[in-house]
A = this chain, B = another copy of it.
């Protein structure tokens, strides 16, 4: 990959804003697509995102802002999508140009609800992007700490290791360490599953379980994640690498995680609907739970996934969280 490849970020949430900040440490010319004309105007006027990580000041001469997804997708060579999975299809529906020759990077942490596919698979199946042109950015990484320039680590995963390294180099800086991996599918599943486990952690907390149980839940979750990913994509991987275990921990132990907050409300007795309304948003893990459950159901030999099953029963079968978790505690060890 040439040094002069043009990068563009699609999305204007906190993680998108953090990624633009990382790229701005290295690149002179960064494309940034956002839906909202107001956000764009505000950025042009005030040099920061009005809604997320507003302490981060950008240098406008480095940024090419646009509200036109086609213009941006056409201009860039490397397209980094950082749109919540619940909204990504709505945005992609605006695309009229062919993106099959572009490098597509997903920093979306979930499943496309309309198709039940991982974001990478979705681009492959519906936009004819070959798998070697698809990459994943995985944490563990809270965007808020990127804003503070606190040391964080990313794993960039792509079958084409040169592409992975190019993207990694574009994101690396004093406060961002990167590594590369070829486990695109496994990491994307891990990123999705960890949100379910964060919901489980929240439910447990809401029900009054303590730190001792939380550590049991996390230690069972990483074993469950390993079993799950092995079924869907068998290859040699160390599940304790930071892209899997680290990301699980930073999410599962964070009181700021939206998935954990959502679970916490469920544990405290909110219905799924009222928790969603209260949060005025949908936690990624909500969709992930359904997809992960059914993907596993379809496996010839199911992976043993007591935690996913428990969260599914609560969120989709309207089962009583207290009773479901009581049973779950007997399956964990």
Could you list which residues of chain A lie within 8 angstroms of chain B, going by C-beta atoms?
Answer: 139-142, 145, 148, 150-153, 177, 179, 208-216, 218-220, 222-223, 226, 238-242, 245-247, 249-250, 253-254, 329-330, 332-333
Do A150 and B213 touch across chains, with their CB atoms under 8 A apart?
A: yes
Given A212-B139, A212-B140, the answer on whether A242 and B333 have CB atoms closer than 8 Å is: yes
Residues of B within 8 A of A329 (CB): 151, 177
| CA gap between A332 and B240 in the complex, in Å | 13
| CA gap between A175 and B333 in the complex, in Å | 13
Number of copies: 2
Do A253 and B211 touch across chains, with their CB atoms under 8 A apart?
A: yes
| CA gap between A247 and B211 in the complex, in Å | 11
Do A332 and B216 touch across chains, with their CB atoms under 8 A apart?
A: no
| CA gap between A208 and B216 in the complex, in Å | 28
Given A240-B219, A240-B240, the answer on whether A141 and B212 have CB atoms closer than 8 Å is: yes
Given A222-B245, A223-B240, the answer on whether A216 and B140 have CB atoms closer than 8 Å is: yes
Residues of B within 8 A of A152 (CB): 210, 212-213, 216
Can you sample 27 A-B contacts with CB below 8 Å?
A140-B212, A140-B215, A141-B212, A142-B212, A145-B210, A150-B209, A150-B212, A150-B213, A151-B329, A152-B216, A179-B333, A211-B250, A211-B253, A212-B250, A214-B250, A215-B247, A215-B253, A218-B245, A218-B246, A219-B245, A219-B249, A222-B245, A223-B238, A223-B241, A239-B240, A241-B333, A249-B249
